[in-house]
Structures are given as structure tokens and as C-alpha cells.
Amino acid sequence: MRPFEYARPDTEAEALEMLNDHGGNTAVLAGGTDLISLMKRELVTPDRVVDLKNVPSLSEIREEDGGVRIGSLVTLDEMQKHPLLNNYQSLRHVIDGIRAIQIQHMGTLGGDLCHLPNCWYFRSGYGLLAIERGVSLVEAGDNRYHAIFGNQGAAKFVSASRFAPGLVAWGARVEVIGPNPQQSESIPLEHFYITPKLSNQGVTVLKPGQLISHIWLPVARQQQSATYEVLQMEGLDWPLAAAASCVEIEGGVVQSAKIVMGHVAPTPIVATAAATILLGNALTVDAANLAADIAVSQATPLSNNGYKVQLARTAVKRSLLKAIGHPEGGI
Amino acid sequence: MLDRKDKNRSGPSFNRRNFLKGSGAAVAATALATSQELAAAQNNNISKITSAEPTTITLNVNGKDYDVTVEPRVTLLEVLRDDLNFTGCKEVDDRGADGADTVLVDGKATLAGSRLAIECVGKTINTVESLRNGDQVDPVVSGFVKHDAMQCGFCTPGFVMATRAFLNEHPKASLEEIRHGLGGNICRCGTYAGITACAMELAQKGGA
């Protein structure tokens, strides 16, 4: 790690002030499970690290506007136990899949949403786009864990967030504060992620000096939700593909549905057409299969990752069935 | 590690390691340079912005306060092992993928290599060394022995601490819950069967 200053604000306003020094070459420290490793590899080299763990307003979970407002510094084990999140099963499924007590204690919701891609070219110092002498290292090299959607541009990594699919399926919004202490905007999480076209662009809309303060979940009426992650290992691992579904069923037919795939593209992918064909019909195994086929029909796999199309397909099908408690939804 | 050697760990006028040797004591509270630093340390307080230079901080490890002079970039694992000689916690993979560096911070299992030492000011840190009290060892430690839950032993302290933390929170855990909870610890020798047997036995007794 390169040397850096360490700042420990007590309030959100103080945090933003501290983030804006050094021309904005600062980093937000939450649980540290990603940032510390990025700084060890010198992939992130801030002049100052702003540790948010002592800002009480960022660690609350409370009811708001009928929904739930979760501070970005809330840890996974706090989310797992919190009664206000009982109706948001798809989030619980993600925490169950993070099979390490250490990461559940350290990891935060905001940290997960801002986790940088695990692309091995990026993590080895070749940048998010991994282009060397005009050649895409991902395209020419080992791309078994890379994108099968949205990979026609320069970016071919997959979005690392494990909560984003479930949260986007629920219609969650994020509160972005900064750069000035008075500035705050609420944006749908669906619009939070971007696919960088240039090497100096990031993976989210966050600008220097900004941070996510809270995540807001809409009221849970009758919706049922689930996340299905395809994990290779029993222990701590990243999903090869994932899907989250949030469906509302009334009178035996689907009234509303949202399906979001994760770890298949540089951003979470909303499978709009797949969700639409479910509307007005019973959610049967056949219907889930059909939706899954449609969800992956536009996939453009790279040379080594064609297998991920089937994994994403299965994840969509099982997330739908898991949401309604059907045995074919798996565990 | 890319640059461990050039890390400036102690101030120029004070060599902590020699001090510890000379004093024969682990507690270095008297080594504080100024009364101002002493006041800050006693309040377990650090200023809101700490420069990138070495700073004296107080860490509470296994029930005792220790003063160390480190840069903000120094991890808790480095301080525990290299400054305070608590060598139970191990570094295997510096990206936090193995769990061998597990310690308890305020009772919660934490990867010491993925946490800055300065983040832990004011917190209670427990390493595997705290599980021994004279001739008495924690039931997790004796359980590891009983179930032959180690081979080379390198991952063992981290596994023991993760097991301790897990059972504290889930005293009646099922086998599946144990396997999930301890999934962040890796043993290259493959002693998982012994470890889960140890955890299961303790869970059946209510997590003692």
C-alpha cells in the first residue's frame, strides 16, 4: 500500500468535506473487504482514506415512506437479523450465499454495491477495460468468468455486486450525497451502474467526492422475491451467474414481475421481455422455463464462457420458482 | 506484499522492538513521547485526520493496551504479528480469501489483514492467544485437539477464532450452518471433517 492519510468523520457532512480535499483523490472506506485489497495491489492509490464507520446515520435500518431505508454502512449480519427486512427474501438469499462469518461481519451493503469488478485482468493492473496495444486482453485471453451480455464495447468484465440484482428487482433507490454537503439525490439503483467506454471512467455514476449514504427499498406488499446464485464452491466464492426475481401473484396469475441478472454483464441486466411474458399467467415451471429462455436469448458469449448462458438461464428459472417456494427453485 | 520492507513502522527516535525487549514487558504505555499523545491514547481517541506519517495509536489486544507507532496504511495483521508478536494469526493470501488472519474485533470475526490497525483504535481485539488462560484452554482449542482437526497447523488459529466467533453467535448451529459460517477459512491439508466434528460437538452442547 502507498501511504495515505486516514480520516474518521462523525457526520455525513464532515465525511463529504474530507472526501473533497486532495482534489478528490480520496477513497471511501466501509468494511474494507475490497478497498484494502485494491490498495495493497496499488490499483487504488488515494491520498486520503475516509473511514465512514463512525457516522451513526449510515448504520441505521428504519422504516421510511412505508419502505425500508438502509444505511450504506449496515453490515451483512445486521441485515440478516433485522426484522424490517423479513419480507425482502431475495436479500437474505444473498447473505446466505456469502459463506464466511468474517465477510458477513465486515461487509457492508454500500460496499457491496460499489465493489469493483473481480476481472483478473483488472485485478492484475491492466485497467477495467484491459486493453493493451489496442488488443482486448479479455477477448484474446481467458474470459471464462467474463460478460455474456453487454460485452460488445470495450468493457467485458462483470458487475461484482451481489445485492444489486435483488435490490434492482425490488425497485430500490440509492441516495447519493455530495460532493457538496448540501447535495443529495435519490436515483433508482437500476440507473446507478454504467458500462465504461473509456479507461478513465468508473463502473457507477458516482463522481469524485460522492458516496452512497442510504439504500431505500419500496414497501413490500404481496411481492415474493428470491435470488439464485450459481456458486461453484461450497465455501466463499463469487457467483458464476445469478438472477433475482420479484413477483406479485394475485388470483393465481402474475400481476407484476421483475427479473434481474447479475455477474453476466458490466452492469446488472434487467430482463424486461422475460418478465413481461409472465404477466397474466400462472407462474408454472413451463412459464419459468420460457422466461429463462427469453432472458438469455440475446446473449453474446465470448470464446470461453458460453457455459455461462446456461447458468444464467438456470438462475432465472430457479429464482422465479424459488420466489414462490416451488421445489424446483432449488435452495 | 508489495512494499512491506519500506514501510516506516516506528518513529525515528523510538524503536519499539528494542523497547519491548529491554522492558521485558509487553505493555509499552510509558513509551509515549508527549503528554498530548498520552491524553489522546487514554481517551482511545485519534484526531479526525491522521497524517500519512507514523502515529502512535493504542490498541487493546487480549485485554491489555498496547501503544504502537504505525502509518495509517499498516494493517491490523501486520501490527499483531510484527509489532506485538501475536503470531497466531497468519498471512496466507493478502486479499482476504483464506481466513487464516481471523481475529475478533469487538467480538466479531474479522480478517486482520483486511483491516487497518488505525481502524481498530477504541475496539477490543482478541487473538487466538486469548483462548489460553494458564493451563486452561478454550473448548474450541481442546475440541480441535480431540477431533484431530489440524495437520500442518498453519490455518488452525484462524479456523479456531472463526469457530469461536461462529459458536458465540450460533450456539446451536446445524452442520449446514457450520459449513456455511466457516466457508471463509481454507485448509490446504483438508482437515475440514475434524473441524466440523469439533464445531458440531460444541454446538450440541450449546456452543461452550
Q: pLDDT digit string (tens) for A185-236? A: 999 999 999 999 999 999 999 999 999 999 999 999 999 999 999 999 888 8
Residue B37: what pLDDT? 46
Query: How many residue pairs from chains A and B have C-beta atoms closer than 8 A?
Result: 116
The Cα–Cα gap between A316 and A274 comes to: 9
Residue B2: what pLDDT? 41
More confident: A66 or A184: A184
Query: Mind spelling out the 3-state secondary structure of A260-290?
Result: EEECCCCCCEECHHHHHCCECCCCCHHHHHH
Predicted model pTM: 0.91
The tens digit of pLDDT for each residue in A154-165 reads 999 999 999 999
Residue B7: what pLDDT? 56
Cα separations in angstroms, A268 against A113, A160, A189, B72: 11, 9, 10, 35
A interface test, pick of B2, B47, B73, B102 with most A CB neighbours within 10 Å: B73
Nearest CA in chain A to B9: A3
**Whether pLDDT at B19 is above 80:** no
Where is average pLDDT lowest: A149-158, A263-272, B28-37? B28-37
Indicate the average pLDDT of chain A: 96
The Cα–Cα gap between B166 and B46 comes to: 31
The vertex-B51 CA angle with A36 and B19, nearest 5°, equals: 90
Give me A327's grid cell.
Answer: 421445489
Look at residues B81, B156, B74, B85 and name the one whose alpha carbon lies nearest to residue B115: B74
Cβ contact B49–A18 (<8 Å): yes
Beta bridge mates, A187 = A174
Cβ contact A5–B97 (<8 Å): no
H helix or E strand, kind and range, residue A28: strand A26-29
The tens digit of pLDDT for each residue in B75-91 reads 999 999 999 999 999 99
Which residue segments constitute the domains of chain B, with CATH numbers given? 4-126 (3.10.20.30), 131-204 (1.10.150.120)
Nearest CA in chain B to A21: B49
Cβ contact A99–B180 (<8 Å): yes
Cα separations in angstroms, A73 against A12, A54, A60, A104, B39: 12, 10, 8, 12, 30
CB A59 within 8 A of CB A71: yes
Only one residue has cell 490498495, namely A39
CB A61 within 8 A of CB A68: yes
